[in-house]
Structures are given as structure tokens and as C-alpha cells.
Structure 1
């Protein structure tokens, strides 16, 4: 870009200089033409009697008055034959045809211009015709040699090209120097990136002394590595926990399959108990796998099919479906929801969110009630699930959304679950642009509050008075 600007700048200088020199040459020729016209007019009004035009133009001394160094004058009659010429032309004649038309940057009425080549040398030629009545009586040609000007332009062009070449070399050297200074740190980043693997995410650039853009890039690179390290660690823990959760039911299924092989055909009790156990463990595995698939689905929001969903309808549907589960434990399931509360989301995931929260409340509540409520808000909807269960300790609250986390491991062995329910809930809330909060006191129950933004394409739900 800089080189192109230099080229344009040099070209403009050259064109401007050429224009100035041509204008100067044209002004000299035009001045001579005006002097000749004035002198001819004077001769016609001479007190000693008028002098004819041809007589004046055939006088070499008359024409020499207007000629000069590099400036030539020659007159022709109406038939194109020479009448007279300045002494500096000697035996040569000015060209009367075959020249390239040209116009000066100033008005010259009655004068025609052109550029001719005479013996490999350029000449600026002007032509002025003097009429006699309706027919031309004589034509005066004034030739301005451009040899000197072309020599000046040639030297000036060489000077500009030399300067341009030097400027290009300077730009190239400066660019190489700047590129090395700029790409050196980037090469360091590239080398560090090549040395990093899934087992060596602890490496950092530690560019704390740079305050420029590269310093910011280095700090961003370190921050990215920190996020990757934490993400890899979470995935490792998740894989280890998932393997453990799946290993237990697989081990039980395998043991019961062996029992069936050995005694199933002979002992009906063994057959029945083994089949019941296999079915229960298979269901546990299915729940774990379904929860993991839901987590994977919510980890890729771009693959979700979003639409306008009436959350009130979803809440009523889930409340109806889980009434039997609550009644089997002697609990009261209260459902408070009005239709017409829309959000932009995926209905299946929103239903899973409500199911997980309500099932979790029923699972850990031994007596009392569970309340599922939905109310519209100015910017969306608010879903609350409140139970009268044992509550959650303050130490466990920050971790309840972690995958496979169990607040009470001893009690969790007697309570059916995957350890992924609340992790799934948090992911579903996140991909819908909402937020989830939990308040709990041991012995006083737990309340989960989910806030989801409304569907912008529909009228917002009106808050209840």
C-alpha cells in the first residue's frame, strides 16, 4: 500500500513538471505569435505607406526579430509555399503536417497547436493564418524546440525513478525489520502451541511486561489455556464418574446373568430375582445414558430446534404426569400455572427441566408437599419448585449443579438417581438464556427458581396483579 502511494506521488510530480514545462514552451510561442500579429498590424498603418503582408514576411530580418534560441519562424503563402523564414532555420523548413494535435492550458484564439518530430527531435508547432478577405493570404508557423525540455524531463524522470527505487528498498528493509519484530512473538506462541497437548495444558507464555497488542494476545492465549485446562479436567472427572456409574450396574447385570446361566433353569426364585435386578439396573443405565445424551445435546445449542413454547402448558402437563409419583409417597403436589406464558425454546428440553426439578423434590421429600408454580414477569417467566424436604447444607449448595455430585453420599445410596439431574437442568436453563437460583436451609426445605426470557416474537406475558 505504501509503495503504491509512492508510485502515485512520483507519477503526479512527473506529470506536473511536464505540464509546467510544456506550458512555458507554449507561452513563449504564443508570445511570439502575438508580437508578429501586432507588428503586422503596425506595418499596415505605417506613415510611410502600408507594407504588404507578403513583403514583410519575406524579409528575413523581420522574422528574426521574433526568433530566438530554439524558437523558429517560417511563413508560407496561400499555396503552402515558403515566403520567408528566420535565419536560425538555415536550409531547413518547419513541418506543416504530420504532427500530433495538442492544446495549451490557456486560450489562444486563432492559433492551432501540435507536436511534430523532426530528425528524432520533438518540436512544439503553432500555426496562425492571416486572411485577405475570405481567403488566406499567408500562414505563419512558429516552432519551439523541445530538445532541452525533453532532456530535463529525461534527467528528472531518472532522478525520480532512482529515488523511488531507494524508497522501495527502504520500505522492503523496514518491512522485513517490522515483520521480524512482529512475527517473533507470534513464532513464540506457535512454538508454545505445538508443545501443548492434552497432558501438558499447564504451560503458559507469561508475557507480563508487554502492554501492546501482542501482550494482549499473549494474555488471551494464557487465559484460553486456563479455560482449556479446566475444561479438560472437568471432562476427565466426568468420564471417570460416568465410567463408575455405568460400571456398577454392568457388574450387577453380569453377576445376575451368570446366576441365570447356572441356576435359572432349576430355581424359579433365582430366575425371578435375577430378572428383576437386571431390569432395575438396565433402567438405571438407561437413565444415566439419557442424561448424558441430554447434556451433550445442550452443549451444542446450534443443533437445537427452537420455537415458541407455552411454558404454562408444559408445567400443567408435568404436574399431571407426576401426581401419581407424589401420591405414592403421601405428598401433595400443588401446581399453579396459567396458559399463555411463552418462551423461545425447545419443548422437550423445557419439559425435561421441569420433570427433573419436580422429581428431585419428590425424591428427597419424605412428608409434606411440593409446589410447582409458574408466573409471568416483565421480561419473561419465573418457574419455582418448592419442597418441604430436609434442605441442603450451605457447604453443598455451590456444588449441587456439578455432574455426579451428591450432597449426602450415604443417603444417595438409598435414593434412586443418576447424579446428573441438576447438571442437566442448569444446561437447559443456560441454552435458553435464563438463570437458575436455589435457596435452602437444613430442615426447612429447598426452593429452585428459574427465570427464562420471553419469546421476543410474541406479546410479553402480563404479570399477575
Structure 2
């Protein structure tokens, strides 16, 4: 700081120490200045605080242009200046922090706002839309990727549901058309007892199939949260099931071997076994035998039917899917879908092995303890 500018600082007294003591500048009264000179003359330390006439003064010894000076300033004014300086610094810091904070927050929130704007555009008509993934290599990019993966699953579930409804409509339309046709035939030839009887038999058979379809659909939509899991002696359980199958399908032979325990819900397990056995019977045209095996944590159902082509194996658990739609085997292609749902609900899995012309084997794996 230039000496001339230094002398313009208000409320400051300056005394030169060379060749005695000389007043360079003082804003104070002569009496107070004399007291300040007396203290300055005896000053030993470079910085001293003294109280005069009820006020504290800061004495500071400095060297300017090779000469020594004593600068005196009221401490109250010093503190006031410091407060003003700190206030100014605080205001500047607050303003800068505000604008910098807004810039940082805007930069941070922009990806989220983009995702919100895109998410508001989603609807059932544009499920293929996806959220933008910012190239930020941070949590926001990971969030967008995770949400897009969730949207992929939602889209697939929506498409499966839509396909399911289309399949249901198609499968219901065929038997309803048959019922209407036979009803009209019976009414037209009401005087022909044999035609009426044949029509009513066909209507009953079709209605029974529709009831089975509806029951299967209810099984598929049923919540499986309240299963009662228990240890089940698998051989004893299958023996009881075979007694019922033998009465319902007397022309079939059931071969059971093995012994073991599984942990399952008894009702759900009965549905799984019944669906697998009925599926084996449905496709056993020549050898009328169903082979059942069991062990700890597993059981299998095997037939000697036509088998399933390798390219069809991945789809056999899809709803309404039939390996050969031209076959007059009956059914709606829901049995294996129900099996898979119940097995997974019991924390298990199902595997299939098949060879065209030699038969198919389904193996269900469940907990054994």
C-alpha cells in the first residue's frame, strides 16, 4: 500500500519514531494524542493493545520506506472494519454459492427431469418407448438402465397378457360356435330323437371342455401366496393318485418305483401330478403306460408317446401352446402352464427330456427338507 493512501485511512494516528517521535497524522484530541505519544514512545513489542480514556487502542509498529512508524487505531473501529469485511465476504460467498448451487443442482437434476418428462409420455399404445440413458457413468445412468429393464419386463408381461386374452377369445369362440350349431340342429330336427340326443351329447361334451378351460384359467390366475408347505412321502402320495388314475383311465398301466420325501403343498402337488399324468395319457397312442419315479426332492412322469420336437421344447410351458395343433387330442394347452406356475410357487423347477418317436419325461425338483 502506498504511504499516501495509508495516511487516508480514517480514525488512524501515525507517529514517526526516527529522531525522537513526531506526529504524522492524528484525528484525535491533543490530550488523547499526547497520551498516545507517551505509549508509542515506550512501545517495545511490534503490536500492543492499550486502554486509554475507557477505549481500547491497537498500537502497531511498522516500517515504511526504511523508516519506523507507530500506527494507532481504536480497537472498536478495527472490529467494525473487520465486521464489514466479513459481511462483505459473506455476501459475496452467499451469492456465488447460490449461483454455483443452482448450476450444480440443475446439472444433477436434469437427467431426472428428462426421465420424468419421458415417463409421462408412456401409455399402453407406446410401450416400446424407453427412458434416455445419460452417459454420466454414475447412479443416474444406472437408474435409467434399471428402469428401462423394468419397462422391458412390463412390455413383455403386457404382450403376454394381450396374447392370453386373444387366445382365450379364440378358444372360447370355437366351443361356443359348436354349442350354437348343435342347438340349432336339435331345434330344427326336434322330432328326430337320435339327432336331438346326438346334439345334446355333443353340447354336453363341449360344455364340459369349456368348464375345464375355465377351471384351468382360474388356476392360472389364482394367487399362490398361502400355500401350506409340508413334508410329503412321495411314494405313498403317488400310490394314492394312481388309485384315482386307474379308475379314470382303466386302459392305462401305471408303473411306479422309487421312494423319497418332498416339501410341498399337498393340493398344489396333486394338481401338478394330475396335469402331468393327463398330458402323458393324452399323447400315448400306442404304448398305454405311464411311468412314475420318485426320490428325495424329486419325482418324474414319463410316457412312451410320440415325443416333442427339439425346437418345440422351449415353448411347451407357454399358455395355450400346443406342440401339434392339428392333433385331435383335446385340451387347450394350459396344463403345462399350470404345472410350471405351481412348481415355481413351491420353490421348485421342472425339466423336460423328449425324443421324437420315443416319448417324453417331465422331472419336477422340490425341496426335500
Coarse TM-score class (shorter-chain normalised): 0.7 to 0.9
Matched, 1:183 2:109: yes
- The aligned residue for residue 308 of structure 1 is 230
Give 1:107's aligned residue. Answer: none
Query: Aligned partners of 2:344, 2:352: CA distance in 1, in Å?
Result: 15
Pick from 446, 452, 460: which aligns with 2:366? 452
Equivalent in the alignment of 1:410: 326
* 1:267-346 → structure 2 map (5 Å cutoff): 267-297=192-222, 300-301=223-224, 303-310=225-232, 312=234, 313-328=236-251, 331-336=252-257, 338=259, 341-343=261-263, 345-346=264-265
Query: Given the superposition, is the C-alpha separation of residues 263 and 196 from structure 1 closer, same or farther in structure 2, using an over 3 Å criterion?
Result: same
* SS across alignment from 1:453: coil
Q: CA deviation at 1:170?
A: 3.6
- Name the CA shift for 1:149/1:269 in 2 (closer, same or farther; >3 Å): farther
1:3-42 equivalence runs, <5 A: none
Tell me, in whole angstroms, the C-alpha distance in 1 between the residues paired with 2:258 and 2:76: 95
TM-align CA RMSD: 2.8
What secondary structure sits across from 2:366 in the alignment? strand
- Asked if 1:215 is matched to 2:105, the reply is no
**Match among 183, 199, 207 for residue 125 of structure 2:** 199
Q: How many residues are treated as equivalent by the alignment?
A: 302
Q: Distance in 1 between matches of 2:76 and 2:188?
A: 113
- Please name the residue that 1:116 is paired with: none
Q: Are 1:425 and 2:339 matched, yes or no?
A: yes
For 1:150 and 1:268, how far apart are their aligned partners in 2? 123
Distance 2:114 2:129 in 1: 13
Query: Aligned match of 1:440 in 326, 334, 354?
Result: 354
**How far is the alpha carbon of 1:353 from its aligned partner?**
0.8
1:70 aligned partner: 51
Q: In structure 2, what is the equivalent of residue 392 of structure 1?
A: 308
| Matching residue of 2:279 | 360
Distance 1:290 1:440 in 2: 28
Q: State the alpha-carbon separation in 2 of the partners of residues 192 and 243 from structure 1.
A: 34
How far does the alpha carbon of each residue in 1:144-163 deviate from its partner, in whole angstroms, 9 at most, with x for none?
xxxx7777666656655554
1:228 and 2:148 are equivalent in the alignment: no
SS where residue 438 of structure 1 aligns? strand
Q: Alignment partner for residue 382 of structure 1, among 294, 298, 306?
A: 298
SS of corresponding position for 1:447: strand
CA–CA distance in structure 1, aligned partners of residues 129 and 104 of structure 2? 28
Distance in 1 of aligned mates of 2:124 and 2:329: 36
Using structure 1 for the length normalisation, give the TM-score. Answer: 0.59
Matches within 5 A, 1:132-147: none
> Per the alignment, do residues 216 and 384 of structure 1 end up closer, same or farther by CA in structure 2, a change over 3 Å counting?
same
Cα distance in 2, alignment partners of residues 178 and 357 from structure 1 = 61
Cα 1:164–1:69 shift into 2, 3 Å: closer
Aligned to 1:111: none
Q: State the 1:438 CA deviation.
A: 0.7
Q: How far does the alpha carbon of each residue in 1:125-150 deviate from its partner, in whole angstroms, 9 at most, with x for none? A: xxxxxxxxxxxxxxxxxxxxxxx777
Deviations 1:336-367 (A, max 9, x none): 3547x241x43322211111111111111121
Q: Aligned partners of 1:204, 1:384: CA distance in 2, in Å?
A: 43
- State whether residues 314 and 350 of structure 1, in contact with CA within 8 Å, keep that contact through their aligned partners in structure 2: no
156-165 or 215-224, which deviates more: 156-165
Could you list the per-position Cα deviations for residues 201-223 of structure 1 after superposition, in whole angstroms to 9, with x for gaps in the alignment? Answer: 22234537442222222222332
String of CA shifts for 1:370-429, please: whole Å, max 9, x gaps. Answer: 1122210xxxx1111111111111121121111111111221xx2121211111111112
Q: What runs of 5+ residues in structure 2 fail to find an aligned partner?
A: 1-48, 57-73
User: 1:386 & 1:228 partners in 2: Cα distance?
Assistant: 36
